[in-house]
Structure 1
Amino acid sequence: MTSRTTVLLCDDSRALRMLTSRQLVECGFEVVGEADNGIKAVEQYQALKPDVVLLDLVMPERDGKQALRRILELDPAARVVILSSLGAQADIEECLRVGAKSYLQKPIDADDMVRVLRETVA
């Protein structure tokens, strides 16, 4: 039996976290934690060591770019997928240069999310 891929879901929108979490579980992933700001995202990453992190760019207290850099400082092998809204192309490119594995555009398409996550952990 293979274990399910564990996901840490980081977004300041509770509604998006609820919807995305449900989609992930329905597609066979295990959501091991959620964070609504960048500081909690880093704390949750350290505590849970998920297989992959879905990380929103725009969050309070520490944004996604700052959280990405800190997670990669703690674990250079971390697999982080950036969540972004339209118009954030420069930020996405910066995150990919820093070490994010991929990105997803909001609103998130469930099929795209599953494909990107499977590619990220392959």
Structure 2
Amino acid sequence: MTAKTRVLLCDDSRAMRVMTASILEENGFEIAGEADSGLAAISQYKATRPDVVLLDLVMPKMDGKAALREILDFDPKAVVIVLSSLGAQSDIEKCLKVGAKSYLQKPIEPEALLRVIGEAAGG
């Protein structure tokens, strides 16, 4: 049996984290941890070393773009998927250039979430 893919959920919306966690857990993923700010995302990443990070761009204390850079500075192999409700294509493109593996537009479709995490974790 293979180990479950461990996912770190980083979003300032508790409802979004709860909903995402239930979709992932129902489909065999493990929740490595949760963060409600960019600063918490970085410390959670360092503490849990998840396989995949779901990172919202708009968060308090430190936004997702800054957190993405910090996580990748700490671990260049980190698999980070950016979440954006803004639809700001330029923000998404910047994040992909910095090193995000993929992005998801909010509201997130469960099928898209599972597909993107599967692709990112697998490759």
Report what 1:84 is aligned to.
84
1:12-48 residue CA offsets vs partner (Å, 9 max, x unmatched): 0000001000001011100110000000000000000
Amino acid paired to 1:47: A
Amino acid paired to 2:9: L
Number of residue-to-residue matches in the alignment: 122
Report what 1:22 is aligned to.
22
1:35 equivalenced with 2:22 (yes/no)? no
Report what 2:117 is aligned to.
117
1:87 deviation in Å? 2.8
State the TM-score, normalizing by the size of structure 2: 0.98
1:38-85 residue CA offsets vs partner (Å, 9 max, x unmatched): 000000000000000000000000000000000000000000000001
Q: Distance in 1 between matches of 2:47 and 2:18?
A: 21
Report runs of 4+ in structure 1 exceeding 4 Å deviation: none
Q: Identity over aligned residues, as a percent?
A: 63
Q: Distance in 2 between matches of 1:106 and 1:6?
A: 21
State the TM-score, normalizing by the size of structure 1: 0.98
Q: Distance in 2 between matches of 1:64 and 1:88?
A: 13
Give RMSD over aligned pairs. 0.6
Counterparts of residues 94-109 of structure 1 (less than 5 Å):
94-109=94-109
Report what 2:55 is aligned to.
55
